[in-house]
Amino acid sequence: MQNPWTTFDPEGLASLKDTRKDGQVSIAESQDLQLTDREASSVLKQYNAPVVTPKDVSGKTPQGLIQDLNPVSQINDLRREFPGKTDSEVFAASSAKSNAARARYELVKNEGSQRDAQNVQLSMAMMSLTVEAAMIPFLGIRAPAEVLQGASSGALCSPINPLGPMKGPVSIKPPSNATLAEMAEVQAYVQGANEAWRVGALSNVGRVPTAAALRFAASKAATAEKAAGSYTGVAGHVPDATWTGQGGAYRWLDQTSRVNSSIGGQAGAYPAGFRPTGFTTGQ
């Protein structure tokens, strides 16, 4: 049987209508569910979950001659996953795979029995400790605190037992004596960083040291963003450039200078090349 969370193989699967006919979608039924990209997008919109577009995949996939020559670059990984396709077709296939996987999860979580819904969320929380994010595109769902049993309610995965020194959850702590507003900024950062992690927008080589060129590009982009927008504080990268390797931001966040500096400084606790398996809110 195909793994429904990591493989999009429509042959021999059941239709969405048949799967929903008894009013409940079980884990077992989701494993045999065929979803067109339109159906998957409809399910995601129904449950207010993000829909990944080919443009999203293309925009978050570094491209160019250097990437083409690198056999383990993100774009070449995608080409190997979908052989014989043009890059445009690869981006479309990748987004369809992400949407179908996330839609199956949402169906069980929202239309399954209480037991199945809890089991699938617990499974995803535990799998995030053992599987690379790129293999499970929809893993960036925040599991409830009672399911994670002690993990931060803002966490994608339990903050314990990271997978060795070069992979694990990244803990983002509020600055000392943080106000409620500052704590909310940290929580918004964690949520945005987890979304970037989920869609594969992080650097494919792990944390990138903010050398002069990257620091300059990031500062230039932040200055331009603040000038173009309505910010009361600084325009903060979400996540920081050290996690994406890009001067631009996956998402911008209006932050106080204190929160921005605090979050940026915390990245230094992780070595270059460290691969996040999610971001958590620390204490």
pLDDT-based confidence at residue 10 (cuts at 50, 70, 90): very low
Query: 62 pLDDT exceeds 80?
Result: yes
Distance CA 149, CA 36 (A): 35
Distance CA 201, CA 215 (A): 18
Q: For the chain, what is the mean pLDDT?
A: 78
- CB neighbours of 167 closer than 8 A, spacing ≥ 6? 274, 275, 276, 277
Comparison of pLDDT for 87 and 211, the residue scoring more? 87
Q: Taking residues 152-166, what's their average pLDDT?
A: 42
Phi, psi of 216, deg, nearest 5: -65, -45
Comparison of pLDDT for 11 and 20, the residue scoring more? 20
The answer to whether 101 touches 9, Cβ cutoff 8 Å, is no
Query: 25 pLDDT exceeds 90?
Result: no
Q: Taking residues 66-90, what's their average pLDDT?
A: 86
CA distances from 64 to 59, 83, 88 (A): 12, 19, 14
Place of tokens 């159906």: 39
pLDDT tens per residue across span 198-214: 888 898 888 998 878 88
Query: 9 pLDDT exceeds 60?
Result: no
pLDDT-based confidence at residue 160 (cuts at 50, 70, 90): very low
pLDDT of residue 13: 65
